[in-house]
Amino acid sequence: MPDPTNPLTVLTDKSMLLETGHPLYPEVRDAICGFAELVKSPDMVHFYEITPLSLWNAAALGADPDEILDVLERFGKYPVPRTVADEVSTSMGRYGLAKLEKDELDRLVLRVKNKAMARELWNHREVRACLLDRIDETTFTVRPDNRGLVKQAMVIAGYPAQDLAGYLEGESFQLRFREKIGNGNSFSLRPYQQKAIDKFWQDGSILGGNGVVVLPCGSGKTIVGMGIMEEAGTSTLIICPNIVAARQWKTELMDKTNVSDEDIGEYSGEIKEIRPITIATYQILIYRKKGTLGTPRGQEEEWVYPHFGLFNLRNWGLIIYDEVHLLPAPVFKVTAELQARRRLGLTATLVREDGREKQVFSLIGPKRFEAPWKELEKQQWIATALCHEVRVEMDEEYRMDYAVTSKRGKYRMASENPRKLELVKNLLEHHKGEKILVIGQYLDQLRMVARALDAELLTGQTPTKIRQELYDRFRDNGPDGLDLLVVSKVANFAIDLPDANVAIQLSGAFGSRQEEAQRLGRILRPKKNKKPAHFYTLVSNDTVDQDFNSKRQRFLTERGYGYEILDELDLLDMIENPEKYKQCESKK
């Protein structure tokens, strides 16, 4: 029952205020994160919002309105406003009112709940454009190649369609984990990995087979993908953010399953192989030929994106979109045409800075499984991470130049504040002997820092061969290994550096929550010595750098990570008095 001493206030506009200092805060945060989105996270009160998409995802995970309203009543200060109760019931009730199915004539049809809804959809411009004919008062035929488009249109109309039309089985190809056939390294699925596989697969029925699995970096998303490949027993196309990530998939497949080198093909800018398991990159798929002058009408898309044909070069039964939150806009179009294939999205965060979360929902599928980061940390499946925001002052002359520059220029100047370098040097001394990544956005800044630190620099301009050599040396704990890498945003995604345990962030992509989560993920793999990982963000004090960083922290705050705020003197005191700091650390 509502209680004025509770920490949650539910407002009539479907926003919620959660008091972070309340003893029940962690429990309430975990209870509401499945159906509400964190909007702002100042120190004392966090602001959440209940949206149709958050409620549809909750419905897809099996939650019902009564469960959600019970959470709001149990932890709320006051009774749940009628408008909120109505929104929860209405939005969740809309999920599945429309179903895409195959009829007795093997036609793709859209069946809706009642005549009024059918009339509304028939008169909805985007939905109507995807329909062929009206069979009866509540059933429409849909062109098979409009299967994805009609689902997008239904989301726009506010009636997310449940896709029960089934899948093409694809060309048969059976993968097995080595541990199941008694061959290879000792290895077994973790409980949450098996649960993610089961939630996605749904015993192979048409109720499953599409959707997104959300797991923190370092927790084994690739292994979940391989488990689903084992269940599917079919040729699989895997799409990754870059070539290094693609080759890591191949290494993992050969290490943990019975597939051979001949079974796995690479489709990239360097190699064009089509095998039962083919691993491609987003970059090659969205490669565009310059100019379309003289291209026959109707073939422009094929000419501009010549590698889209990869989706039809084999009878794929499963397509895996690794780091699905990065799915480029052009690939959404071709994904809309692949609705008869099973589709898996893997990500650490469904946040998209372009607002296309609804497209991921409609074209890849609903969120099937998400594991709480802090719960996996508690069980030691990922490393404990301590996050620190260090406020850096500007020298007076630099501050004067900052004051008169443009708004966009202000962010870059604040990011490249020269005083950050001295603090980086102090942190390197403090963490001497540990594996450290210095991460930034601006190449000029990174080159300067790499020269000053006499460190190797890795950017998008670094050739793949050298990039791989640097990663290998960073993994090497011997005398020839590297303890420090200066990296650009190219290292944000899908890079396996298991011993990295310190990240120092100099600058980032404005207020990107997605990037913040990925960068923290570089240091989350569990450490053999059980030591915590440290994530430092150096922020120029009283600048737009500080404003944008507060936005970047929102995603991690939602996952239960707190930020310790330090100024330069605090940081120096921490370095000069490590024993005092260790005592504080143990209390955390």
Give the CATH number of domain 382-587: 3.40.50.300
Tokens of residue 483, six digits: 């303890």
What residue segments make up the domains of the chain, in order of their start?
Answer: 8-94, 99-163, 178-371, 382-587
Q: pLDDT tens digits for 333-342? A: 888 889 999 9
Tokens of residue 99, six digits: 């179903």
pLDDT of residue 296: 52
Read off the amino acid at residue 573.
Answer: D
- CB-based contacts of 38: which residues, under 8 Å, 6+ apart? 46, 47, 48, 554, 555, 557, 558
Q: pTM of the full predicted structure?
A: 0.85
Q: In what order do the strands lie in the sheet with 435-439?
A: 456-458, 484-487, 435-439, 500-505, 533-540, 385-392, 563-567
Q: Can you tell me which residue has the tokens 């859209």?
A: 110
Q: pLDDT tens digits for 497-537? A: 767 899 999 988 766 777 777 788 788 887 777 788 899 99
Q: pLDDT tens digits for 84-109? A: 999 999 999 999 899 999 999 999 99
Say how far apart CA 499 and CA 440 lie, in whole Å. 20
Query: 178-371 belongs to which homologous superfamily?
Result: P-loop containing nucleotide triphosphate hydrolases (3.40.50.300)
Q: How big, in percent rounded to 5, are the helix, strand and coil portions of the chain?
A: 45, 20, 35
Quickly list DSSP for 533-570: EEEEEEEETTSHHHHHHHHHHHHHHHTT--EEEEEHHH
Say how far apart CA 347 and CA 212 lie, in whole Å. 8
pLDDT of residue 64: 92
What count of residues does the chain have? 588
Q: Confirm if 10 and 76 have CB atoms less than 8 A apart.
A: yes
- pLDDT at 377 exceeding the cut of 90: no
Q: pLDDT tens digits for 96-148? A: 899 999 999 999 999 999 999 999 999 999 999 999 999 999 999 999 889 99
